[in-house]
Structure 1
């Protein structure tokens, strides 16, 4: 599989819910700059639910060869911090071993059919007991996260997508129209039930069939 293929898989995995073995990130992007120079994550996702132990960023660095992996360790941001509350390497099956991993890093292995196997990291516990998942999330979490670079990435992503206020205005208008339509549907349903009750109560022949109720 190519580097691009694995980046695409990484994005899909980042958006998977915990119940399906993924981090459940609301936002995930690939190869976006975290500043005018420096780290460009292969894939990174952001999860925010309001529950601090589970919220944060999940970084996935794709390595298609062992030499690519060894070169990554020499990069400045690997030595002095970097982005990602939780960090994973993703590689084709057999390229990396658990013993190769730096402290705190997880491993996602991809087989020839494109299936992802979680070999190490807090993701191993996504489908397990909730209390154990929370404990493992704390153990695997990085403390030296470069939040300024994460903020840069998010702001640039939003800016490149267009005017966020226009998007919010469109969504707000759509939500208001939906609420009005739901209210009108409820009013008509109540009116229909009232008319139906009046028709049934006014039948001259109690044995006559009940008129069909209109949905």
Structure 2
């Protein structure tokens, strides 16, 4: 079974080179989008994409254009992202595209229609900076893993030195006795 976290991790992994945020809040946090990306280049038109992850049909049926107002306001494209077969293309509102994640690859079932996004305001900028904290947490996680691995390397080096010293002492004792 594919979980929302699986889909989010795949979106993050495939967003190299983009500015991204998970759980991006709009309107003082009263509404959120699961994942949001921004192409940081003029040649891409600074394209912003919003991704709403749905893993149950009931969750999708509770969604609305009002709930997605912020995501629609500041995005060029809006995507629902689901496990395969959860939604039919006919279920989608006219403003949304559909991608399915099968655990290996994304399949576009319907392209997200292009939209004209509004210029960002300070609330969006602050929310983006606040919620792009995953990037900082990723750096923190990488630092913690690097420290753990360095500790493990140091431990292995100490063990190797002890083995080498032990073997050297045994060799020297044999040489003296010979």
TM-score when normalising by structure 1: 0.53
In the alignment, which of 38, 45, 49 is matched to residue 41 of structure 2?
49
1:153 maps to 2:127: yes
1:142 maps to 2:115: yes
Counterpart in the other structure of 1:204:
none
SS in 1 for 2:93: coil
Higher strand share: 2
1:12 maps to 2:13: yes
SS in 2 for 1:87: strand
Q: Give the whole-Å Cα distance in 1 for the aligned partners of 2:40 and 2:128.
A: 13
**C-alpha contact (below 8 Å) 2:80/2:98 kept by paired residues:** yes
SS in 2 for 1:147: coil
Counterpart in the other structure of 1:121:
111
Q: CA RMSD in A?
A: 2.9
Q: Which residues of structure 1 form unaligned runs of 5+?
A: 16-24, 123-139, 162-215
Counterpart in the other structure of 1:37:
29
How many residue pairs get aligned? The number is 134
Counterpart in the other structure of 1:99:
90
In the alignment, which of 55, 59, 62 is matched to residue 53 of structure 2?
62
**C-alpha contact (below 8 Å) 2:81/2:101 kept by paired residues:** yes
